[in-house]
Amino acid sequence: MNERVKGRVAIVSGSGRGIGRDIALRLAAEGAAVVVNDLDEAPARLVVEEIRTAGGRATACAGDVTEADFAERFVGTAVSEFGDVDIVVNNAGYTWDNVIQKMGDDQWRAILDVHLKAPFRILRAAGARFREAAQRDIEAADRPAHVRKVVNISSVAGIYGNAGQANYASAKAGVVGLTRALAKEWGRYGVTVNCVAFGLISTRLTQTLGEEDAQIEVQGRSIAVGLKASTLEAFEQRIPLGRAGTSREAANGVFMLCAPESDYITGQLLEVGGGLVI
Closest CA to 156 of 277, 18, 14: 277
Q: Which of 143, 134, 142 is nearest to 185 (CA)?
A: 134
Rounded Cα distance between 44 and 85, Å, is: 19
CB 203 within 8 A of CB 153: no
Specify whether the CB–CB gap between 24 and 51 falls below 8 A. yes
DSSP 8-class letter at 14: T
Nearest-angstrom CA–CA distance, 225 and 248: 20
Active-site residue among 94, 168, 189, 264? Answer: 168
Nearest CA to 256 out of 13, 25, 27, 6 is that of 27
Active site residue 94: no
Query: How many distinct helices (H) and strands (E) make up the chain?
Result: 9, 9
Q: How far apart are CA 33 and CA 1, in angstroms?
A: 15
Q: How far is 179 from 190, CA to CA, in rounded Å?
A: 15
162 CB burial (10 A radius; 0-12, 13-18, 19+) = middle
Instruction: Return the bridge partners of 269, or none.
Output: 195
Residues tagged active-site: 168
